[in-house]
Structure 1
Amino acid sequence: MGTVMGGAGSSAAALGAEVLRALRDFAAGAAGSAEVLASALTALESGNGLRAVSPMWWGDFDQGVRWNGWWTVRSAETNDTLRGLLPTPWQWAVSVCAADGRRRESALLADSAPIGHPVLLPLLVVRCSDWAEPVRLRAEQRLAQTLAAASPADLAQACAVAWACETRTRGAGAALLVNERLPEADPAVWRHLFALPDHRTRRRALAEALRLHALPAEELVGLALRDADVNVARRAAEHVLLQTVPAVDQPVAASAQLVIDRLLTARAPQVRAAAVTVLRRTQRPDLAAAFLLDRSTLVRETARWVVRSHDQDPAALCRGLIARPGFVAGAGAVSGLVECGDASDVPWLRLQLDSSQAKARAAAVSALSALAPMDSEELLTLLEQDPSPSVGRAATAALVPHAHRIPPVRLRAWLSPGQRPNLRIQAAVLLRAADTWTRLETDLQLLADPNPALARTARADLRTWTTLSSPGSGHPTAEQSASVKALLASAEDLLDTWTLRQLRFRIPT
C-alpha cells in the first residue's frame, strides 16, 4: 500500500486553482472567461485530475458558483453560451451549485445527473450540508442511493470530501453516510484512500481503518515505510508494533521480528525510533546498539535508553562501532559519540575535521565546541577555507559568543561581493553579533547588495532592530556614527518611511 504524491497532486492543484480563477473572472464579466473556464474544466477532467484534487476544492467550487450568483446576475444569453461550452457533467455541476435553491433541488431530482462521473459524488456530498433543508434531504437520499453502487475509487473519493466537509454546519450527514459503508467496504477502498495526495484524508482514513481493524499488519508496515506524512507513518508503525510484539519476557515470533527489522529501515526517524523502542521489551539491545550512530537525534536518544536499560554503556558501544575496520563515520556517528562520550574522544573527533563528508565535518565542529572548544583563529580559518555551508554554519555558531573579538576588517573583507556566497552570509552573521552599531552598519551596507537573500535578511534585521532596540542603549564611536549616518543617507530610497524615521530616532547625535 503506497501513496501517490508529487506530480499528480501538484498538477491537479494547479488545474483546480485555474478553474476557480476562471469562475471568479466569469462572475466579474471578464471577456472570454467562459471559454477559459470550459478549457480549464476539460484539462482538470483529463487523466486523474478530478480524483487527485484536494477534497476542499469541491466546497470552493460550490462557493465559486453559488455565491457569485451566476444564474441571477448574468444575462440568460450568457448563461446559455456557458452551458453550450461546458462538458455535459459540468452543466449538471453548475446547476447543482446554483444560487437558486429550487434549481439545486431540481438538479438533484433530474435524470441528467452524471452517473459514474467523478463530479457526481463530491457535489452530492457538498449538497448534504446545504442550508436549505429540502435540498439537504434530497442530497442525502441521492448520496445514499449512489454509494450503494459506488466503485471502490468512488467511495474513497466520497469519503475524502465528506470528511473535509464534516466541520461545516450540517456537514455531519454525509460523513455518517460514508462511514456506514466502510465496515463492509472492499479492501481496495483503503488502497485508494491511502493513495490520495491530501495528507489530512490519509490521517482520517488511518484512524477509521484502525477503529475498524480493517488493515492487516503487512499493509500497516507498508504505510509506515512509504507514506510521506510522518503522522500517518508513525501511527501505523506504533499500532502494528503494539499488535504484533509481545510484552517483556515473552517469546517473539519470527513474523514479529520481521516487522521490527523492516521498520528499523524506515526513512522517517519517528518510525525507526518506534521500532528501536520495542527492542527493549524484546530483549535485543544488540540490535539497538547500531542505532547509537543513527543520523536522527531522536533515534539515537531512544537507542541509548534501550542499551542503558540493559546496563550497557552507550559510549563504549559507540567506540566499538567506530573502531570497526573500514568504518566511515558520518554525521550521526560523530554526534552519537559526543552525546555520550567524554574528553577522551577529542582526538578522534579532531580527525573528523578532515572527513570527506561535509556533514561529518560540521558535526565534528559542533562536537568539539561541546567537549574541547577550538580557538577562534582555527574556527576562522576553517570558515574561510571549507566550502561547505553546513561547516560554515557550525563554525559561525561556535564563533558568535566571541564575535566582538574578531577584527571587523577581516569580516568585512569576507563580506565583499567577490567572495563565495556562504562565506558572505556567515560574515554578516558574525558582524551583526559583534555589537549594536556594527550590526546596523552591516544591515545598511547590505540593503543594496546584489545577492537578494542578503538584502532581504538585512531589511528584515533592520525592522527587528528598530522594534527591539532602545534609543539610549550603547553609544557608537565617532567613526561608527559617521559611517551609519552616511550609509543611512544613501539607503533612504531603499527603506520605508516608518523604518527610516525609527532609525534616525535611535541614532545618537
Structure 2
Amino acid sequence: MRNEAESRRAAVRRLGRGLPLERVLDVTRPKAWADLDEDVRRAVVHGELRPSHEWLTGAPGPGWRRLWRAAPAPAPEAPAEARLALALCDPDGRIREAALPYAAGRPELLPLVVVRAADWAGPVRARALDLLRSELPAAPDGTLAVTAPVILRLAARLRGGEAVALLEGLLRALPGAAVTRLLLGCPDVPTRRAALAVVLDRGLYDGLGLALVAAGDHDPVVQERAASAAVAAGTSDATVPVLLGARSGRVRAAGVTALRGAGRHAEAEPYLFDRSGRTRACARWVVRQGGGDPAGAYRSACAGADVPDRAPLGLGECGSRAVDAALLRELTGHPNGRVRASAVAGLRLLDAVDPRRTRELLDDPEPAVVREAARALRPWNGRTGPR
C-alpha cells in the first residue's frame, strides 16, 4: 500500500513537471485515470502542487474567478498535454469546465474527459458528455480501447450512468469490424464483456466465430457466453473441434454438449477422462444420452493395463461404494503417482476412505498423492484412534 501511494504521488509530480501522460501513468489501467484525478485535486488543495492556469484564465493568480460558462475563446496555441490534464483535474469546477473544450481533438486526454462526465458539478458533466458524443464515434481503435474501460469502471459512480449509456449506444452503432476488434484486442475484461454482448445482440459472429472467441479468451464470463452461443448457433464440422480443443474446461464442456446435439454421442467417451470435472460430467451425460454406461467405461479403464490418470476419479464421481471401493483401494498402490492421487480422490468422493491406509500415503513421493491424502483425512483430523 505504501508503494502504491508513493507511486501515485510520483505520478502527480511528473505531471506537474510537464511530462506527457504516457510517462506519468499506465494509460491502459482504467483505475489509473480516476486515481490521477483524485491525486491532483488533493495535491492542489494541500498546496503540494500549484499549477498555473494563466493560459486558460488570461490572468495569473486568482484570474480564474472571472471565468464564465460560455465556450472560451481559442487559446493562442494548444496547451501542452500536462497543462490541460492538470486543468481537467483541478479542484475548482470552473477551471475543469473551461478546460474541457480544449480537449477536443486530443485523444490522449479522452479518458480524463470520461472522468469529468461523472463529475459532481452539473455544468462540467454536461460539457464533458457533449464532448464525448462528438469525439467517441470518430475515435481510433486504440483510443476506444483505452477510453471504454474508463467509462465502464466509472459506471459504479453515482453520475456515471450517462457515459455508460453513451458507450452502449456507440457500440451498437459502430461498424461490426470495430466492435469485433474491441472484443478481440482490448485487454480490459469488462470491455470485452460489453463488446461480446453487442456482438451477440447484433449477430455479428456465426458459430465458428463464437467458438474461436470462447477458445481464445481468458475471461470465464466471455468463455461461457461465447461457447454457449456457439452451441446455440448450431454445430458444424469446424465449430466442435475448436470447442473441444480449448484450454478452458468450460469451453470443452460446451463442445462435448455440442456432440450430443450433433448425434455424435460416442465421440464424447474420451472426455470421460478430461482434466476438467465439468467436462467429465458433460461427457457422462452425453454418453448416457447415447445409451452408454460411463461407470462401466471407468471400471474397464481402471482394470486395464494402462490406466488413464483421471479414470479412478471419474469412477469415484459416478460409481458405487459397494462395487468400486475395492478397485480404487488397489489403485492407491499403482506405479503412476497421478493414478494413485486420482484413486485417493475417488475414494473420498465415494466416502470409502480407509484412514489407516490413507495416513500411510502422507509419505508418498508424489506431492499430488500427499495433497489428496491430506484432503481425504480432514474428517478424521483431531480424532483419536489407531494410526
TM-score (normalised: structure 1): 0.62
Is 2:336 aligned against 1:365? Answer: no
Q: Report the Cα distance in structure 2 between the residues aligned to 1:17 and 1:114, rounded to whole angstroms.
A: 31
Greater CA radius of gyration, 1 or 2? 1
CA contact (8 A) 2:179 2:199 kept: no
Is 2:86 aligned against 1:107? Answer: no
Post-superposition CA distance 1:396-443 (Å, at most 9, x none)? 344455541146xxxxxxxxxxxxxxxxxxxxxxxxxxxxxxxxxxxx
1:322 to 1:401, Cα distance in 2 relative to 1, 3 A: closer
1:217 to 1:373, Cα distance in 2 relative to 1, 3 A: closer
Q: Report the Cα distance in structure 1 between the residues aligned to 2:256 and 2:92, rounded to whole angstroms.
A: 59
Is 2:359 aligned against 1:380? Answer: yes
1:175 to 1:16, Cα distance in 2 relative to 1, 3 A: farther
Alignment of 1:38-437 (within 5 A): 41=21, 43-44=23-24, 49-50=26-27, 52-53=28-29, 55-66=30-41, 68=42, 70=44, 73-74=46-47, 78-80=50-52, 88-110=80-102, 113=103, 115-118=105-108, 120-186=109-175, 187-245=177-235, 256-320=236-300, 327-330=306-309, 332-342=310-320, 345=324, 348-350=327-329, 352-355=331-334, 357-369=336-348, 373=352, 375-384=354-363, 386-402=364-380, 403-406=383-386
Alpha-carbon offset, residue 316 of structure 1: 2.2
Secondary structure class of the residue paired with 1:244: coil
Identical aligned residues as a percent:
36
Alpha-carbon offset, residue 225 of structure 1: 0.7
CA contact (8 A) 1:128 1:139 kept: yes
CA contact (8 A) 1:315 1:337 kept: yes
1:377 to 1:178, Cα distance in 2 relative to 1, 3 A: closer
- Letter of the 1:164 counterpart: R
Q: Report the Cα distance in structure 2 between the residues aligned to 1:16 and 1:195, rounded to whole angstroms.
A: 28
Alpha-carbon offset, residue 173 of structure 1: 2.4
Q: Report the Cα distance in structure 1 between the residues aligned to 2:202 and 2:355, rounded to whole angstroms.
A: 61
Q: Report the Cα distance in structure 2 between the residues aligned to 1:116 and 1:356, rounded to whole angstroms.
A: 66
1:143 to 1:369, Cα distance in 2 relative to 1, 3 A: closer
Post-superposition CA distance 1:455-501 (Å, at most 9, x none)? xxxxxxxxxxxxxxxxxxxxxxxxxxxxxxxxxxxxxxxxxxxxxxx
TM-score (normalised: structure 2): 0.79
1:184 to 1:321, Cα distance in 2 relative to 1, 3 A: farther
Secondary structure class of the residue paired with 2:221: helix
Q: Report the Cα distance in structure 1 between the residues aligned to 2:195 and 2:374, rounded to whole angstroms.
A: 45
- Letter of the 1:391 counterpart: V
- Letter of the 2:371 counterpart: R
CA contact (8 A) 2:16 2:51 kept: no
Alpha-carbon offset, residue 329 of structure 1: 1.7
CA contact (8 A) 1:69 1:98 kept: no
Structure-2 residue corresponding to 1:471: none
- Letter of the 1:104 counterpart: R
Structure 1 unaligned residues grouped into runs of 5+: 1-14, 27-32, 246-255, 408-509
Post-superposition CA distance 1:300-329 (Å, at most 9, x none)? 22222222223322122334555777x442
Alpha-carbon offset, residue 210 of structure 1: 1.4
Q: Report the Cα distance in structure 2 between the residues aligned to 1:43 and 1:355, rounded to whole angstroms.
A: 58
CA contact (8 A) 1:365 1:395 kept: yes
Secondary structure class of the residue paired with 2:228: helix
1:337 to 1:115, Cα distance in 2 relative to 1, 3 A: same
Secondary structure class of the residue paired with 1:237: helix
CA contact (8 A) 1:285 1:307 kept: yes
Post-superposition CA distance 1:103-122 (Å, at most 9, x none)? 11121123xx373543x211
Q: Report the Cα distance in structure 2 between the residues aligned to 1:213 and 1:165, rounded to whole angstroms.
A: 28
Post-superposition CA distance 1:271-328 (Å, at most 9, x none)? 2222222333322210122222222222222222222223322122334555777x44
Q: Report the Cα distance in structure 1 between the residues aligned to 2:143 and 2:40, rounded to whole angstroms.
A: 23
Q: Report the Cα distance in structure 2 between the residues aligned to 1:61 and 1:333, rounded to whole angstroms.
A: 54
Alpha-carbon offset, residue 193 of structure 1: 4.2
CA contact (8 A) 2:317 2:349 kept: no
